[in-house]
Structure 1
Amino acid sequence: MHDYFNTKGKELTYTERQLIERWHNKEKLSNRQIAQRLNKAPQTIHHELKRGQVQLKTKTKYSATHAQEYHSANKSHCGRHSKLTPNLNETISAGVRDKKSLEVILQELTGVCLRTLYHWVDKGWLDVKYHHLLYPHYKKAKKLRKIQPKRPYGLSIDQRPEEINQREAFGHWEIDTVLLTKEKNDCLLTLTERQTRFEIIRLIPDKTSASVNRALLTLQEEVQFKSLTSDNGREFARLHEVVPCPVYYCHAYASFERGSNENHNRMIRRFLPKGTKQTTVQAVAKIETWMNHYPRKMFKYQTPFQMYRGG
């Protein structure tokens, strides 16, 4: 039985090649003797000496440096070639700059998977980096116990019918406000239809119940409200005065109970980050249109507008 082994993946190192050069050129050891010292097969040494030969003026000899360069050149050609092309790079990078997620960008591509896109971003092979992606850092959600609000304004979300909870019917909305700055300034009133994820955004002068109610009175002329679900902010304390439908209030510190609306608020932050001092009605309308025409994975990449029109 042979007392050597050559496990797959155990290539000769540069140090071993230098030893081969010394033993073969200077000490004139045979291939079998060199193989025994390195614990390799004699055939391995034979092939190595053949690949590492260099031609001198009168003779040929083994060069460890030449053999290592030859090995490195061969290794560079191993493995599958990347599918990334300049055009593909431009398409993906442009989509990320246009506030699209990689899942949505993937629908425009063929021959690659989502994991590949993330791999290219992680490796830095694209013009956009990891921090350019939407929500690049995720934290594990804490388990919060449900706390009843100190001042209940109306019906608790616990009383909301299962039909609304399961999103089986159209016309049930989640409502919230989005502040642009901590200073007293314009803010956004956002409403998300639970079944279709259709979004309505209105710019209101301040975060008061009077401003919220005025906006809702105007909206009722064009939108059907079967129910509203809100948090316990004071701006929503008088919703029952203007909407002829049930209003359900979430538990304190449980924004996840209006998850669709909260997620849409994060989408708005792509365009209006915290600290935005000014915006216009036209800019808000443009964001609303963009969100309602953004493909959603949950709808097999149909848009909320398509779902809303079908509703």
Structure 2
Amino acid sequence: MQVHYTTTYKHLSLTERQLIGKWLKAGMSRRQIAKLLGRSPQTINKEVIRGQVKQMDTFRHNHSVYSYDYAQKQYERRRKKSTKKTKLDKKLTEIIVHYIKDKVSPEVIAKVKLKGSVSTSTLYNWLYQGRLGLNRTDMLYPHKTKVIKPVATNPRHYGKFIDKRPESTNQRLAYGHWEIDTVVLTRAKNPVLLTLTERKTRLEVIRLISDKTAQADNGSEFSRLSEALTCEVYYAHAYSSWERGTNENHNRMIRRFLPKGTRKTTANAVARIEMWMNNYPRKLFNYRSPNEMVRGG
């Protein structure tokens, strides 16, 4: 008859060790004990060997016997040694929390601020395990339920679509190609942000402008943009912000400081955000900032 044992390994408990000692004294075989405990014979055999102690009988002869008490102490000693010491002390916690609240990503904290002394994955683990004392609102991009946007019917556009732009622009070979968008802070007719992102260096320009009165498809607030500029202008398809992904990623960075629903901001506050972004280390530039990329050519 085939005997089935537990497939998920669990460490033996003190109670199980006491039963092993009791049943061995009663003359049971290790295989019988394994069957009673629902363990594999190999597990019981290893346990008995590890828990052996020397005892002297009345004839002063030494015998090896299983001691559940000794086996339990050996197990606890091994477990203590196997536990890794954490680097996360009070000082390190304060440093990490400071940068998280300063809107710095965990990756940049690990690679730049802590100079690689802590891995990015370790920092994320501390964050999600709650060991830094932070909550969901402190995360840069808390996970939210994805909103399904309506499909545009007969969308209007005011020039060439973005997929028609030259391949040299797509490859970011030269400085001077910009992606542009507006960032709405509230549904009310309040000032909005005009954002421009240079594709090669990721340099960011942010300006506070009067409210965006047009909300039609394809961004009609840019309907006369080609008339104001001497360069070629290409428009993203409706509801396809991923087509200008560089600018969209930068807009997400702005949201770290000005989340949706922000009612008031100032030109000075916007200028500080712009300066922060242009001095922020970027992984794709080996942690150089956009300003350093511009100066470096």
Q: Under a length normalisation based on structure 2, what TM-score does the superposition of the two structures give?
A: 0.76
Cα 1:66–1:149 change in 2 (3 A) is same
Partners of 2:47 and 2:243 in 1: how far apart?
A: 67
> How far apart are the structure 2 equivalents of 1:197 and 1:158?
20
User: Is this contact kept in 1: 2:195–2:205, CA < 8 A?
Assistant: yes
In the TM superposition, residue 257 of structure 1 has moved relative to its aligned partner by 1.0
Which 10-residue stretch deviates more, 68-77 or 88-97? 68-77
Residue matched to 2:38: none
Taking a change above 3 Å as real, the CA distance of residues 179 and 141 of structure 1, as seen in their structure-2 partners, is closer
Q: Deviations over 1:271-309 (max 9, x none)?
A: 111111111111111111111111111111110111123
Q: Work out which of the residue numbers 101, 104, 127 in structure 1 matches 2:105.
A: 101
| Matched residue, 1:275 | 261
Give 1:265 shift. Answer: 0.8
Residue 69 to residue 43, structure 1, CA distance change in 2 (3 Å): closer
Partners in 1 of 2:100 and 2:140 — Cα distance? 8
> What's the secondary structure of 2:226's corresponding residue?
helix
CA distance 1:287–1:42, shift in 2 (3 Å): closer
**Percent identity between the aligned chains?**
51
Match 2:128 to one of 112, 117, 122:
122
Q: Does 1:236 align with 2:222?
A: yes
1: CA distance between counterparts of 2:256 and 2:285?
22
Counterpart of 1:186, as a letter, is: P
Q: 2:234 aligns with which of 248, 257, 260?
A: 248
- Determine which of 52, 74, 85 is the counterpart of 1:81: 85
* 2:198/2:204 contact within 8 Å kept: yes
2:13 aligns to what?
A: 13
Shift of 1:168: 0.9
Deviations 1:168-190 (A, max 9, x none): 11111111111111011111111
Change beyond 3 A, Cα 1:200–1:73? same
CA distance in 2, matches of 1:131, 1:78: 35
Q: Does 1:48 align with 2:51?
A: yes
What is the CA deviation profile of residues 144-165 of structure 1, one whole-angstrom value per residue up to 9, with x for unaligned ones? x9x8963331222233111111
Letter in 1 for 2:184: L
Equivalent pairs counted in the alignment come to 266
Kept in 2, the 8 Å contact 1:16–1:38? The answer is no
Report the 3-state secondary structure (helix = DSSP H, G, I; strand = E; otherwise coil) of the residue aligned with 1:77: helix
Structure 2: distance between partners of 1:300 and 1:49? 57
**Is 1:195 aligned to 2:161, yes or no?**
no
Q: What secondary structure, in the 3-state scheme, does the structure 1 residue paired with 2:208 have? A: strand
Contact kept in structure 2, 1:96 and 1:128, CA below 8 Å: no
2:160 is aligned, of 155, 162, 178, to: 155
Give the distance between the partners of 1:69 and 1:22, measured in 2 at CA. Answer: 18
Cα separation, 2, equivalents of 1:272 and 1:10: 49
Change in 2 beyond 3 A, CA 1:132/1:181? same
**Kindly tell me: are residues 274 and 73 of structure 1, through their superposed partners in 2, closer, same or farther at Cα, counting changes over 3 Å?**
same
* Deviations, residues 235-272 of structure 1 (Å, cap 9, x unaligned): 10111232111111112221111111111111111111
Flag the 1:63–1:171 CA change in 2: closer, same or farther, 3 A: same
Change in CA separation of 1:172 and 1:42 when aligned onto 2, cut-off 3 Å? closer
Cross-structure match for 2:187: 182
User: In 1, Cα distance between the equivalents of 2:173 and 2:147?
Assistant: 27
- 1:140, 1:185 → 2: CA distance? 26
> Structure 1 regions of 5+ residues with no counterpart?
1-8, 52-61, 210-230
C-alpha contact 1:172 1:194 (8 A) present in aligned 2: yes
Alignment root-mean-square deviation, CA? 3.4
Return closer, same or farther for 1:131/1:253 CA change in 2, 3 Å cut-off: same
Output the CA distance in 2 between the equivalents of 1:44 and 1:180: 64
Matched with 2:58 is none
Contact 2:155–2:218 (8 Å) recurs in 1: no
8 A Cα contact 1:149 1:252, kept in partner: no
Q: CA deviation at 1:82?
A: 2.3
Q: CA deviation at 1:66?
A: 8.2
Could you tell me which amino acid in structure 1 is paired with residue 118 of structure 2? V
Q: Given residue 124 of structure 2, which amino acid in structure 1 is its aligned partner? A: Y
